[in-house]
Amino acid sequence: MVELKTDTSIDAMYEAGQVVARGLTAVREAADVGVSLRELDEVAHAVLREAGATSPFLGYRPSFAPTPFPAVICASVNDAIVHGIPTAYRLRDGDLVSIDFGAQLGGWAGDSAITFTVGRPRPADLRLIDTAERALAAGIEAAVVGNRIGDIAHAIGTVCREAGYGIPDGFGGHGIGRQMHEDPGVPNEGRPRRGMPLRHGMALAIEPMLITGGKDGYHAAPDGWTLKSNDGSRAAHVEHTVAITEEGPRILTAR
């Protein structure tokens, strides 16, 4: 069931989204060679505490997970696509890092992700990040009243495939509101003019995931959470929470 949000509710979701935006900005600024993923998690945790917000990630346990998630960020490095657990791993020169972060404030959720490099970047990583951001922008541009979920999926998939990247099958965006994960699902590839019509008041987390090697395969790491590319290819993940309005898409997690 899809809950249509009022304009007042969308404003409240914006406040939650801005906590997420501040957290991701703080984590990006703190990330450097030698900094551990757990230290980045504490940076994000401090942002939540300062805002009086809570984490929809911490303690979250979907059906596939062997244990509740132990942190407030997902930190996925190099060949990790999504859901990386922050560990004692210390960032190295040239690492490719994806950070996913959420916040719950006033009964509403926000969710967003960024990918960046640490130290000296590889040109291939910069191209991957640029493509991921273009795919996200294309998906958001398609998130307008009168379009359908398939139009978002098609826009994202077209950018990714034309650039030669793989797309993890079965993972994508989702509805968001009072809970972090709500209906509908938002695939990262699909056919235009198919799926649920987009209406004023819908809120979606749109999140392209790209694999450099051009193949779609992935597997779960031993921790049961982290998804990694099958061939060791590096990956990127970017995301925004977006409200569908008559005036056009409103990015609630804009930084």
Alpha helices in the chain (DSSP H): 7-30, 37-51, 123-141, 149-162
Place of tokens 């922050």: 86
189 has binding-site annotation = no
100 has binding-site annotation = yes
181 has binding-site annotation = yes
* 132: Cα separation from own chain's centroid: 11
Q: Which residues contact 130 (CB under 8 A, 6 or more apart)?
A: none
Distance between CA atoms of residues 235 and 129, nearest Å = 9
83 has binding-site annotation = yes
**Other Cβ atoms closer than 10 A to 248:** 12
169 has binding-site annotation = no
CA 65 to each of CA 161, 169, 222, 225: distance values in angstroms, whole numbers, following the listed order? 30, 18, 11, 6
The percent of the chain in helix, strand and coil, each rounded to the nearest 5, is 30, 25, 45
Distance between CA atoms of residues 104 and 112, nearest Å = 12
223 has binding-site annotation = no
111 has binding-site annotation = yes
Binding site for a divalent metal cation: what residues are annotated? 100, 111, 174, 207, 239
Binding site: what residues are annotated? 83, 100, 111, 174, 181, 207, 239
Binding site for substrate: what residues are annotated? 83, 181
